[in-house]
Amino acid sequence: MALAASLIDPMNKSHDTPRHVAIVMDGNGRWASKRSLARAMGHKRGAEAVRGAIEGAVDAGVEYLTLYAFSSENWNRPAEEVSDLMGLLKLYLTREIKSLHKEGVRLRIIGNRDRLSAEIKKSITKAEELTKNNGRLTLVIALSYGSRDEILQAAKAVAIKATAGDLDIDQLTEEQFERELFTHGIPDPDLIIRTSGEQRLSNFLLWQVAYSEFLFVDTLWPDFTKEHFASAVKVFAMRERRYGVRP
């Protein structure tokens, strides 16, 4: 109640905009079962809700929007659901990419591509190449992504360089390590949103969230709109970030 009132408080003059917002899009299944629909329908509506988040990000002046679309653990879902999700992602990469490009959105995909079909890998390369010079918003889609996997492969890359004599392990810096992560070149998220009332990270951006603000909202992902995004940005503006330092 107090929070809702403060969101519309005209005296709130804070204009801190998060540079990077990352979202765990959760609740597609519950959205569908509440309506006695198949889970596939929840995912379809979830894919449609992505548009609202992009519009919200552009309206707010956010530079990077990362969406957790398919985790490395999601491969363990029933084959039919994996196939539905992959179908939606393929469609998104081939159909939606044209309008994203027109709107000046750059697309980047993070995650382990080894398990993706050749067709999806090809669409990713094409979409990233087409949009690489766009600067209005960078849309980062986490696909076949797992943060522990990401950190582990970065550690391996660093170890290989050290063994080859290309790197002094005692001098290894956070910046050098970050260069080996899928997210290299992308600033750390300022704000993490998770929908559907669940309050956990689920192996998402574990290294990158060291100083992020977290916002858990009850809205199920298919119901998430650009207005929800705008409210989240307002909540962020009221948070005091200290980065471990005393004010």
* Contact positions vs ligand FPP (CB under 6 A): 25-30, 43, 46-47, 50, 67, 69, 74, 85, 88-89, 92, 141, 196, 221
Strands 213-216, 191-194: parallel, antiparallel or unpaired by DSSP?
Answer: parallel
Cβ atoms 62, 237 nearer than 8 A: no
Encoding tokens for residue 49? Answer: 């809700």
Closer Cβ to ligand FPP, 130 or 157, answer by number:
130
Supply the minimum distance, in Å, between the C-beta of residue 125 and ligand FPP.
17
22: left (phi over 0), alpha (psi -120 to 50) or beta: beta
Which uninterrupted H or E stretch holds 99? helix 97-102
Which of the following is catalytic: 9, 12, 26, 203? 26
Minimal distance, residue 34 CB to ligand FPP, in Å = 9
Catalytic residue among 28, 74, 84, 190: 74
Nearer to ligand FPP by C-beta: 154 or 221? 221
Cβ 161 to ligand FPP, closest distance in Å?
Answer: 33
Nearer to ligand FPP (CB atom), residue 141 or residue 191: 141
The CB-of-112 to ligand FPP minimum distance in angstroms stands at 16
Q: Of 9 and 73, which CB lies nearer to ligand FPP in the complex structure?
A: 73
Of 175, 200, 195, 172, nearest in space to 187 by CA: 175
* Least distance between ligand FPP and beta carbon 159 (Å): 32
- CB count, 10 Å around CB of 125? 12
74 catalytic, yes or no?
yes
Catalytic, 26? Answer yes
Say which residue the tokens 């596939």 belong to: 40
Between strands 137-145 and 64-71, the pairing is parallel
CA atoms within 13 A on the CB side of 99: 7
The smaller minimum CB distance to ligand FPP, of residues 93 and 154, is found at 93
The pairs formed by 32-35 with CB atoms below 8 angstroms and a separation of 24 or more are 34/220
Q: Are 134 and 101 in contact (CB under 8 A)?
A: yes
Helix axes 39-60, 79-91, angle to 10 degrees: 40
**Known catalytic residues?**
26, 74
